[in-house]
Amino acid sequence: MRKRLDFVHNEKGFILPSVLLLTTFVLLNFSTNMLAYQHDLKITYNLIEQINAQTLFQMSYITYKKDYVPQNKDENLTYQFPNGIVNIRSKGYGEFIQLRFNIETNQSKVLFVSEMVKPAPNSNQFQEIE
Q: How does pLDDT run across 22-41, given as a tens digit for each residue? A: 999 999 999 999 999 999 99
Model pTM score? 0.73
Question: φ, ψ for residue 13 (rounded to 5)?
Answer: 100, 125
Q: How does pLDDT run across 77-116, given as a tens digit for each residue? A: 899 999 999 999 988 888 888 889 999 998 888 888 888 8
Tell me the C-alpha distance between 16 and 106, whole Å: 54
Largest CA distance in the chain: 106
Beta strands in the chain (DSSP E): 75-81, 84-93, 96-105, 110-119, 126-127
